[in-house]
Amino acid sequence: MDTVPQELFLLILRHLIDSESHDRQLETGGWNHLRPAMILEAKKSPVPPAHTEYVKRIIDYITVSRRWQHALEHLFFSEMVTDNNQIPKLAQLFRPSQSHRKALVKSFRVNVVNPADEGEGEGESQEARIYRLFDEAIRVIFRALEALDQMADSASTCSSSSPGVHLRIVSILKPAPDLVRSVGIYALPIGRTTTPLLPKISSITGFACDHGASSFSVSHLAGLGMASRLDNLRVLSMCCSEDKGYDITERRKARQDYADAILSLPHSLQDATLIWDPNRVMDESQYPPSILPDDSESPIDPLNAALHDLCQRENFKKLDLKSHLVSPELFWPSSSSKPAPSMTGPDQPAAPSWPSLESIAVSIMPTTPDGKWYFTSDPGVASYDSFVGAIGSNKSGPNQRMPLTYNAFRSMPDPVTMNPFLIAMARAARCAPLLEMMKVEINDFLIPVYIQSPPDWFQRLFRVVYSSKVGELRVEVKVDGWRMEEEVEREWRETMGPEGKIVYVYSGMEGERTMFAS
């Protein structure tokens, strides 16, 4: 069989499987729903579990020849789905006689399933038990990965030309999410002493930490802690939640902890996506509390400063932040010790502070870390007093059934807070020689509860996109006639040079139209 032409070899496999849909997957190297665990299950179980009937059809043919074995194993081992209880058993699949299988693995998708019937330990609360079980599950996963590392030459797996292996924590299925939330937990941490004890893993180049509708989430601190133990990490993607039970003191401390965790990420990292789930201000007539450190006269947001430093690393190329509580420090340090560079002055060359960054995209929150708003009311719609209910005491119109704690109306950029932010963006773009795209955006539907006839499709829409390739800054808003103030435009023209263009676009129900272009 080792001498059969490849075309005939594939035809034989198609015939054995006898399925048009699997023919198509075979041609594209698919079959990602056929897992290594199913191979073991199909061998020992007379009643095949779901989706193993196809494995049963061909399992006996694996031993026909070495060529058959390698061809079929490529399909089975490319994406492995397991959980913390099963992952230690995978070592038998990569025993020395089958060490070639390690090179076939492209990703591990791991669910966390903790024992549902284990009682609480002596003097242990339900909350403490949940934390302990999750902590133990993460330790098991990393120990198993360490064992797999030791079975193969990880250095060859993670060469610069190799995609490496991706690890994804998919779902946390037990204890039940409803039970966890009933205890007041919204995001699971790992112990502060756990992260340094996790073994360093060299074969993982991609790490994702997210959750589905039937699962709860991992805290950002836990996810970043796990990522910090992956020595050759290149791509990071996290979809996590803050603990909604935090008070202001705890939120301030957590923000500093997030910053420290960002700075502990390996320097091999090239691409990071962080999706936040922050506390939101429902009544926009109120101001949120500041979550900046309160031990300084001029506090700086540590998280945005840490993200700025991350972008300064030599290997770092792409940052994507969603629902991010942003401050100007993300783009430009607020310290007066670092003046704005000039693109045109020969005596002031622009020193690149982001030497390798190619793309940065930020979906922002409407508030600032120091308790202010990036947006205010649009006087073209109604006065501020009308929006906050100072004129008249009762809600009216179509929004009278909205709860008293909800009132969303801030649609127009506020120059007091937005100007420093946009200027910081321009200065950062000036210092990123490889930058291709810089984008900041927000798009919220608004319901002003005190306005009788609010505009149709009332939105807080603000999108700023800088494209260095075309030398254009595109500003998209839903406030007709709005444009940046002169000092902000001057900074952006300094960044783009004499050939640069600023385009203002109004986006309404009828579509987009250009308001100004200069």
pLDDT score of 36: 43
For residue 290, give the DSSP letter.
Answer: P
- Identify the band that residue 217 occupies on the pLDDT scale cut at 50, 70 and 90: confident
pLDDT score of 323: 94
Mean pLDDT over 485-504 rounds to: 95
pLDDT score of 47: 32
pLDDT score of 334: 73
pLDDT score of 185: 59
- How many percent of the chain have pLDDT more than 90? 42
pLDDT score of 343: 44
Whole-number average pLDDT of the chain: 79
Whether pLDDT at 396 is above 60: no
Q: Which residues of 478-506 are buried (b: 16+ CB within 10 A; e: fewer)?
A: bbeebbbeeebbebbbbbbeeebebebbb
Task: Provide the Cα torsion 479, 485, 490, 495; round to 10°.
Answer: -40
Q: Which runs of consecutive H residues, i.e. helices, occur in 63-171?
A: 66-77, 126-151, 154-157
pLDDT score of 299: 79
pLDDT score of 28: 40
Measured CA to CA, the distance from residue 148 to residue 410 in angstroms comes to 53
Mean pLDDT over 331-358 rounds to: 63
Strongest mean pLDDT among 129-138, 166-175, 429-438: 429-438
Token pair 């999706």 is found at 275
- Identify the band that residue 122 occupies on the pLDDT scale cut at 50, 70 and 90: low
**φ, ψ for residue 177, nearest 5 deg:** -55, -40
- Identify the band that residue 50 occupies on the pLDDT scale cut at 50, 70 and 90: very low
Measured CA to CA, the distance from residue 265 to residue 284 in angstroms comes to 36
Range with the poorest average pLDDT among 32-36, 80-84, 116-120, 513-517:
32-36
User: Bigger pLDDT: 88 or 100?
Assistant: 88
User: Bigger pLDDT: 211 or 252?
Assistant: 252
pLDDT digits (tens, 9 = 90+) for 53-70: 555 555 566 666 776 666
- How many percent of the chain have pLDDT more than 70? 70
Measured CA to CA, the distance from residue 406 to residue 398 in angstroms comes to 14
pLDDT score of 284: 96
pLDDT score of 349: 42
Q: What are the CA-CA distances from residue 314 to residues 310, 321, 480 (Å)? A: 9, 20, 42
User: Bigger pLDDT: 16 or 140?
Assistant: 140
What does the H/E/C string look like for 224-249? HHHHCCECCCCEEEEECCCCCCCCHH
Q: Which amino acid is at 463?
A: R
Mean pLDDT over 313-328 rounds to: 97
Query: Of 342, 339, 331, which is closest to residue 305 (Cα–Cα)?
Result: 331
User: Bigger pLDDT: 501 or 82?
Assistant: 501
Mean pLDDT over 74-88 rounds to: 78
- Identify the band that residue 87 occupies on the pLDDT scale cut at 50, 70 and 90: confident
**Alpha-carbon dihedral sign for residues 248, 252, 255, 261:** negative
- What residues have CB less than 8 Å from 10, skipping those under 6 apart? 26
pLDDT score of 496: 95
Q: What are the CA-CA distances from residue 344 to residues 240, 331, 493, 497 (Å)? A: 43, 20, 10, 8
Mean pLDDT over 199-217 rounds to: 80
First to last CA, the chain: 70
Spatial contact of 473 and 500, defined as CB atoms under 8 Å apart: yes
Strongest mean pLDDT among 46-50, 201-205, 400-404, 418-422: 418-422
The residues with which 514 forms a beta bridge, in sequence order, are 505
pLDDT score of 13: 66
User: Bigger pLDDT: 285 or 96?
Assistant: 285
Return the structure tokens found at 498: 């004499």
**pTM strictly above 0.85:** no
Q: Is 62 left (phi over 0), alpha (psi -120 to 50) or beta?
A: alpha
- Identify the band that residue 409 occupies on the pLDDT scale cut at 50, 70 and 90: very high
